[in-house]
């Protein structure tokens, strides 16, 4: 098994992004060292935010998995009890597209009649 590191290495993209934000918010008279320290703080904030989002995503995945499993269990129980019950498909007749088609044909016919 792989070795788990508690403190993961910060990606170069995150470092670049943090440095860009630090440089963008740089005050007049601010030294490079101060800007570097601000960039490090931003890096840590971004890393912490990403960790929180990963935790939330894992929790959501767990919930979705449990809901799917419950739904499958419920479906298998319903299939056993209600094998005769089939979902009813209802077709709705959409009038608007047909009306528009009819109007376009009639309009084209009128235009051709007027041009001749």
Lowest mean pLDDT of 10-14, 32-36, 56-60, 83-87, name the range.
83-87
Read off the pTM: 0.50
Identify the pLDDT of residue 82: 54
CA distance 56 to 49: 11
State pLDDT tens for residues 40-83: 998 898 889 989 999 999 999 999 999 998 888 877 665 555 55
User: What percentage of the chain reaches a pLDDT higher than 70?
Assistant: 84
Within 10 angstroms of residue 38's Cβ, the number of other Cβ atoms is 19
pLDDT at 34: 92
List Cβ neighbours of 113 (8 Å cut-off, separation of 6 or more).
Answer: none
Which H or E element spans position 52? Answer: helix 32-81
User: Alpha-carbon distance 15 to 39, whole Å?
Assistant: 8
Distance between CA atoms of 42 and 36, rounded to whole angstroms? 10
Return the pLDDT at 19: 86
């Amino acid at each position: 098994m792989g070795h788990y590191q508690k403190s993961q290495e910060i990606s170069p993209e995150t470092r670049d992004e943090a440095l860009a934000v630090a440089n963008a918010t740089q005050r007049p008279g601010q030294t490079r060292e101060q800007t570097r320290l601000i960039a490090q703080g931003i890096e840590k904030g971004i890393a912490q935010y990403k960790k929180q989002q990963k935790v939330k995503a894992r929790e959501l995945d767990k919930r979705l998995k449990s809901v799917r499993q419950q739904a499958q269990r419920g479906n298998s129980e319903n299939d056993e009890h209600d094998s005769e019950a089939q979902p009813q498909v209802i077709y709705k007749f959409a009038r608007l597209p047909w009306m528009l088609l009819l109007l376009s044909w009639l309009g084209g016919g009128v235009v051709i009649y007027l041009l001749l």
